[in-house]
Structure 1
Amino acid sequence: MRYIASFDIGTTNVKGMLVTADAGIFLETNIELKVLRHGDYVEQEPEQWYDAIKQIAASWFKVGIKSKDIGVLTFSGQMQDCIPVGDGLEPLRPAILYADGRGTEQSARMIAELGEDDIHALTENHMDGTLTFPKILWLKEYEEETFRATKSFLVSSKDYVVARLTGVCATDPTSAATTGCMDGRTREWVRPWLERYGVEPDKMPEIRASDSVVGTVHAGGAAATGFAEGTPVLCGIGDAGAATLGAGVYEDGDVYAYVGTTGWVASATSGYIDVRSGAFNLAYVEDGRQIAIAPLSNAGNAHQWAVSAFGGGRSGNLMSYQQFDEAVSRTDRGSDDVLFLPYLNGERCPVQDVNASGCFIGLKPTTTKERMGTAVLEGVAYSMRQVLDLVAERQPGARLRVTLIGGGAKSKAWCRIMADVLGCELVVPKDSQYLPSLGAAALGFRLAGWGSDYAAICRAFKGLGIAETYVPDESLRERYDRQYERFKRIYPAVAPLFAE
Structure 2
Amino acid sequence: MPLKQPSERVFLAVDFGTSSMKVALITLGGQVLGWESVPVQLYLTPDGGVEQSPVEWWQAFLTAAKRLMSRGLASADNVQAICCSTQGEGTVPVDQNGNALMNCVLWMDMRGAASLKKQFKGLVNPTGAGLLNTIRWIYLTGGMPSMTGKDPAAHMLLICDRYPHIYERTYKFLNVLDYLNLRLTGRFTATFDSIMTSWVTDNRRPDQIHYHPALVRRCGVEAEKLPEIVPCTTVLGPLLPAVAAELGLSSRVQVVAGAIDTTAAAIGSGAVEDGVPHLYLGTSSWIAAHVPYKKTDVVASLASLPCAVPGRYLLTALQATAGGNLTFLRDKIIYNKDELLQEENIPDIFKYLDKIAARVPAGANGVLYTPWIWGERAPVEDKNLRAGLFNLSLHNNREDIIRAFLEGVAFNTRWLMAPVEKFIGHPIPAIHIVGGGAQSDIWCQIISDVLGLQIKQVADPIYANAVGAAWIGAAGLGEITFRDVPSLMRFKQVYEPDPANHALYNQRFEIFTRTYRQMKSIYQQLNG
TM-score norm. by structure 1 comes to 0.93
Displacement of 1:448 in angstroms is: 4.3
Aligned residues: 495
Distance 1:421 1:315 in 2: 38
Structure 2 match to 1:410:
439
The range that moved more, 88-97 or 16-25, is: 16-25
Distance 2:162 2:58 in 1: 27
Displacement of 1:316 in angstroms is: 9.4
Match of 2:77 among 68, 71, 76: 68
Gapped runs of 5+ residues in structure 2?
1-7, 125-132, 337-342
Match of 1:147 among 159, 167, 170: 167
Distance 1:252 1:376 in 2: 32
Distance 1:138 1:308, change over 3 A: closer
**Helix, strand or coil at the partner of 2:101:** coil
Distance 1:315 1:291, change over 3 A: farther
Distance 1:72 1:477 in 2: 46
Distance 2:321 2:29 in 1: 35
The residue type paired with residue 469 of structure 2 is A
What is the root-mean-square deviation in Å for CA atoms of aligned residues? 2.4
Displacement of 1:324 in angstroms is: 2.2
Q: Is residue 11 from structure 1 mapped to residue 36 from structure 2 by the alignment?
A: no
**Helix, strand or coil at the partner of 1:43:** strand
**Helix, strand or coil at the partner of 1:442:** helix
Match of 1:163 among 182, 194, 213: 182
Displacement of 1:437 in angstroms is: 0.7
Displacement of 1:75 in angstroms is: 0.9
Distance 2:268 2:188 in 1: 25
**Helix, strand or coil at the partner of 1:282:** strand
Match of 2:512 among 472, 481, 487: 487
Deviations 1:49-91 (A, max 9, x none): 2212212331233233443321211111111111111121111
Q: Is residue 180 from structure 1 mapped to residue 199 from structure 2 by the alignment?
A: yes
Q: Is residue 124 from structure 1 mapped to residue 142 from structure 2 by the alignment?
A: yes
**Helix, strand or coil at the partner of 1:113:** coil
The range that moved more, 217-226 or 46-55, is: 217-226
Structure 2 match to 1:460:
487
Displacement of 1:322 in angstroms is: 2.4
The residue type paired with residue 415 of structure 1 is C
The answer as to whether partners of 2:378 and 2:416 remain within 8 angstroms in 1 is yes
Structure 2 match to 1:91:
100
Structure 1 match to 2:285:
263
Displacement of 1:191 in angstroms is: 2.3
Distance 1:413 1:284 in 2: 31
Distance 1:77 1:488, change over 3 A: same
The answer as to whether partners of 2:421 and 2:427 remain within 8 angstroms in 1 is no
**Helix, strand or coil at the partner of 1:175:** coil
Distance 1:295 1:92 in 2: 29
Displacement of 1:389 in angstroms is: 2.1
The residue type paired with residue 461 of structure 1 is L
The residue type paired with residue 506 of structure 2 is D
Deviations 1:303-336 (A, max 9, x none): 2223456757989955522222222111122474
The answer as to whether partners of 1:334 and 1:479 remain within 8 angstroms in 2 is yes
Q: Is residue 112 from structure 1 mapped to residue 139 from structure 2 by the alignment?
A: no
The range that moved more, 133-142 or 20-29, is: 20-29
The residue type paired with residue 9 of structure 2 is R
Distance 1:394 1:354, change over 3 A: closer
Distance 2:432 2:254 in 1: 32
Distance 1:448 1:51 in 2: 27
The range that moved more, 385-394 or 267-276, is: 385-394
**Helix, strand or coil at the partner of 2:349:** helix
Match of 1:214 among 211, 221, 236: 236
The answer as to whether partners of 2:23 and 2:68 remain within 8 angstroms in 1 is no
Structure 2 match to 1:376:
405
Q: Is residue 274 from structure 1 mapped to residue 301 from structure 2 by the alignment?
A: no
Distance 1:126 1:315 in 2: 47
Distance 1:449 1:395, change over 3 A: closer
Displacement of 1:24 in angstroms is: 2.3
Displacement of 1:125 in angstroms is: 1.0
Structure 1 match to 2:381:
352
Structure 2 match to 1:478:
503
Distance 2:267 2:250 in 1: 27
Structure 2 match to 1:288:
311
Distance 1:321 1:185, change over 3 A: same
**Helix, strand or coil at the partner of 1:481:** helix
The answer as to whether partners of 2:460 and 2:492 remain within 8 angstroms in 1 is no
Q: What percentage of residue pairs aligned between the two structures are identical?
A: 26
Deviations 1:384-412 (A, max 9, x none): 01112222359999772111100011222
Distance 1:240 1:395, change over 3 A: closer
The range that moved more, 374-383 or 192-201, is: 192-201
Distance 1:266 1:97 in 2: 21
Distance 1:169 1:363 in 2: 53
Distance 1:470 1:316 in 2: 35
**Helix, strand or coil at the partner of 1:488:** helix
**Helix, strand or coil at the partner of 1:443:** helix
Structure 1 match to 2:55:
47
Q: Is residue 434 from structure 1 mapped to residue 463 from structure 2 by the alignment?
A: yes
Gapped runs of 5+ residues in structure 1?
none
The answer as to whether partners of 2:275 and 2:424 remain within 8 angstroms in 1 is no
TM-score norm. by structure 2 comes to 0.88
Deviations 1:95-132 (A, max 9, x none): 01111122212333426325322222221013211111
The range that moved more, 19-28 or 93-102, is: 19-28
The residue type paired with residue 367 of structure 2 is V
Distance 1:394 1:443 in 2: 26
Distance 1:283 1:335, change over 3 A: closer
**Helix, strand or coil at the partner of 1:433:** helix
Structure 2 match to 1:300:
323
Structure 2 match to 1:244:
266
**Helix, strand or coil at the partner of 1:236:** strand
Displacement of 1:266 in angstroms is: 1.2
Structure 1 match to 2:130:
none
The answer as to whether partners of 2:50 and 2:105 remain within 8 angstroms in 1 is yes
